[in-house]
């Protein structure tokens, strides 16, 4: 749910770097979540490692979903900025 909130916030706003909420939503939520997940997986062998793999797959899926929409979101690579 928190990833969805961060994605919707990022997609629906203009591309500027003046919002402090961005860093909190994007970086703060996973840091808190991994701490809670570590506490939950404390007694399970390799539990935290498998949780990390699952989250990596989840974030790769989101990146794959967002990659084709990069230009419409206003995020261009360095190749786009060099050609201007």
What's the pLDDT tens digit per position in 47-72?
A: 999 999 998 998 899 888 878 877 66
What's the pLDDT tens digit per position in 14-26?
A: 655 556 666 676 6
**Calpha distance 48→83 (Å, rounded):** 44
Q: How confident is the model at residue 42 (pLDDT cuts 50, 70, 90)?
A: very high
Nearest Cα neighbor of 6 from 51, 53, 74, 66 is 66
**Calpha distance 42→2 (Å, rounded):** 23
């Amino acid at each position: 749910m928190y990833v969805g909130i961060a994605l919707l916030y990022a997609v629906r706003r203009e591309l500027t770097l003046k919002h402090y909420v961005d860093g909190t939503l994007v970086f703060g939520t996973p840091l808190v979540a991994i701490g809670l997940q570590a506490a939950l997986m404390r007694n399970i062998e390799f539990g935290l490692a498998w949780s990390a793999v699952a989250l990596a797959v989840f974030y790769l899926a989101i990146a794959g979903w967002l990659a084709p929409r990069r230009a419409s979101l206003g995020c261009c690579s360095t190749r786009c900025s060099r050609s201007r």
